[in-house]
Structure 1
Amino acid sequence: MKKTVHRADTRGHANHGWLNTFHTFSFANYYDPSRMNFGVLRVLNDDEVAPGMGFGTHPHQNMEIISIPLEGDLEHKDSMGNVAVIRSGDIQAMSAGTGVSHSEKNRNSDKAVKFLQIWILPNKANVTPRYDQITLETDALKDRFHQIISPNPEDEGIWIHQDAWFHMGEFQAGSTPTYEVKMKGNGLYVFVLEGSCEAGGESLHRRDGIGIWDTESVTFKMTEASRLLLMEVPMAN
């Protein structure tokens, strides 16, 4: 087993007034050559957008973009004609492919919106752009790793153009779940949304991340009630 640990307080940070953001990997003005990616996981941004503010229309190409709202209402508009609002409990994915423009705005006038912005390098270039959004069932995450992203259109969650599987789970203190890696050679990046746990021989706390590879499974021990995001991705990029 190999691992790399990214503590919450070592992430890149920028506060633009309208946007308070933390970068696990190099992004915008934050550059660390040792933290460019974890396999095909290229961006993991922890964003907080001020009331009524947002990202103006901007383009993307050949990237799988996943948004996971944590608090508040985030409005999405894109050049494919999609207009949607995502909230906590929703998962959004967009394949930029040959090119797409979009905007993301905080729909709330009285509170910030918080969400994770994740970019995955695709395994296929110049695909037709597409958008998808799901709402998780109530209690879907309780005491298990619930799949939210996969490479297969027929599987649970949203599919993307990459051999990647994302899961989220909420566990009580003392729980010891195990995650089995689905594809040989893939690595697992764990991001602690809330709480604390032990994994890969490390004690992890809120917004800490750990990348683990060269293993077939990872067992966790929840040291308090915790909410985790697991991202299994190919290590070759």
Structure 2
Amino acid sequence: MIQFRDRGARGRHQGAQIDAHHSFSFADYNDPKHMGFRALRVLNEDRVVPGAGLPEHGHGDMEIVTIVLKGAVEHRDNLGNSAVVRAGEVQRMSAGTGIRHSERNPSADERTHLLQIWIIPAETGGPPTYEQRSFADDGERNRWITIASGDGRDGSLTLRQDAAMAIARLDEGITINRELDPARGYWVQVIAGIVGLNGTEMREGDGAAITSEEEISFEADTDAEVLLIDLP
């Protein structure tokens, strides 16, 4: 079964500094029908104006993955990490017993575009940790690239959950398939372009929850990028 989530149906916070779309209930957006999907709790698409961001704030017991699509994010936390996460890079924070951090767009003239994803961990507690890695190789096209997983396979970031995230950057006209475990759940998010998911058109910002399926197929109607989240 595939349940589509239209980009225009998402919650939205449009402020002077951040324009955010929420696939699931978040902050002031509260929709009892969209509180998450399995262990996936938050999927936000944010655009941040130059120099803006969020001051220091705290998280606990959450796996927080940030995928920078355009521009950069300057990160600082109370673990002593200070880094700039650039387009093509992915950041993972395991909040564990508690982490405090700030994030801002360091550019003077370019908006930052990012996805931020929260996964509920398999167990609460544990020390907070931080990882960052680039997955920006333009040669890695028309195949699935694992960017985060519970076992850190294929050089991916490590999650404290039996979950995995993979992206596929597709050339126009390419069809790519993915075998699925019918006992698990999968979330699809179109990052860019237009694709057909098992024949149904999806565009940038569209999402879909997938259950009880053995295989899915993506056909790229344009150059496109797709995120697939595999969940217990």
Counterpart of 1:229 (choices 221, 227, 230) is: 227
- 1:44 paired with 2:43, answer yes
Match of 1:199 in 2: 197
User: Out of 185, 194, 217, which is 1:187 matched to?
Assistant: 185
**Equivalent position of 1:21 in the other structure:** 20
- The answer to which of 187-196 and 138-147 deviates more is 138-147
1:56-67 → structure 2 map (5 Å cutoff): 56-67=55-66
Q: Which residue of 2 aligns with 1:151?
A: 150
Residues 182 and 211 in structure 2, CA contact (< 8 A), matched pair in contact too: no
Letter of the 1:223 partner, please give it: D
Counterpart Cα distance in 1 of 2:215 and 2:77: 38
Contact 1:140 1:146 in 2 (8 A): no
Question: Which ranges in structure 2 are unaligned for 5 or more consecutive residues?
Answer: none
CA contact under 8 A between 1:70 and 1:115: conserved in structure 2? Answer: yes
Q: Which runs of 4+ in 1 moved over 2 A?
A: 153-156
Q: How does 1:114-133 map to 2 (within 5 A)?
A: 114-133=113-132
Could you tell me how far 1:222 is from its partner in structure 2?
1.6
Shift of 1:156: 2.4
1:219 aligns with 2:193: no
**C-alpha separation between the residues in 2 aligned to 1:140 and 1:122?**
32
- Match of 2:125, SS state, is coil
Match of 1:7 in 2: 6
Cα shift readout 1:166-203 (whole Å, capped 9, x = no counterpart): 1111112222211123x562211111111111114421
Identity %: 36
Aligned to 2:93: 94
- Under a length normalisation based on structure 1, what TM-score does the superposition of the two structures give? 0.94
Return the alpha-carbon distance in structure 2 between the equivalents of residues 132 and 141 of structure 1: 21
Distance 1:154 1:9 in 2: 35
C-alpha offsets along residues 120-171 of structure 1, whole Å, 9 cap, x if unaligned?
0000110111000001252254111111011113542101001111111111
1:163-178 equivalent positions in 2, closer than 5 A:
163-178=162-177
Pairing 1:33–2:32 present: yes
CA contact (8 A) 2:89 2:136 kept: no
Counterparts of 1:222 and 1:19, CA distance in 2: 30
Whole-angstrom CA distance in 2 between matches of 1:205 and 1:14: 20
The CA distance in 1 between the partners of 2:94 and 2:219, in whole Å, is 34
The answer as to whether partners of 2:71 and 2:86 remain within 8 angstroms in 1 is yes
Structure 1: gaps of 5 or more residues: none
User: What is the letter of the counterpart of residue 145 of structure 2?
Assistant: H
Match of 1:162 in 2: 161
What's the Cα RMSD here? 1.4
Other structure's SS at 2:8 match = helix
**Matched-pair contact (CA < 8 Å) for 1:200–1:212:** no
* Partner amino acid, structure 2, of 1:189: W
Per the normalisation by structure 2, the TM-score is 0.95
Aligned residue for 1:220, secondary structure, equals strand
How far apart in 1 are the matches of 2:53 and 2:34?
26
